[in-house]
Amino acid sequence: MANDCVFCKIIRKEVPTQPIHEDHDLLAFPDISPIAPVHVLVVPKEHMVNLNEAGVKDVPVLGRMLRLAARIANEMGVAETGYRVVINNGDEGGQLVPHLHLHLIGGKALDQKLG
C-alpha cells in the first residue's frame, strides 16, 4: 500500500468511510461526491495505480471487481433499470485518485455520450 494514497488510507481505516462490502481483496464504499443516487467505488486492497500496472496475476481480482459491482447494483435496486461501470485510467482518462478503482453509477437516466 502507498502511504499517501487516500484509498490505501481508507483500506487501513485511517480515513473513515461507510463500507458497503469488504473482503480479503476488495473494498466498496460510497463516492464522497456522487453524480447519481447510486455511486459506489470498488477498490482493490492491493495498491496499483491504474490498469496499466495490472498484470496477469491481477486478472482474478479485476474480474471480482466487476462481479461485485453487479451484485451491489442488484442489492441497491438499479440492476433492472441499468447502471454504468467506469474505470478512469490516467490523467487524460479522468482518473483523480492514483489507485485503481471502479465507479458503479446508477439510479437515474445517465448521459448517453459515452455509449
CATH 3.40.630.30 fits 6-114, yes or no: no
**102 with 31: CB under 8 angstroms?**
no
Percent of the chain predicted with pLDDT > 90: 93
Domain boundaries, the chain: 6-114
Whether 47 is catalytic is no
Strands (E), the chain: 21-22, 26-30, 38-44, 83-86, 102-106
Give, as one character, the DSSP assignment of residue 110: P
Residue-wise pLDDT for 29-68, tens only, equals 999 999 999 999 999 999 999 999 999 999 999 999 999 9
Of 39, 99, 101, 103, which is the active-site residue?
Answer: 101
> What is the reported pTM?
0.94
Burial of 101 per CB tally in 10 Å (0-12, 13-18, 19+):
buried
Is residue 113's pLDDT more than 80? no
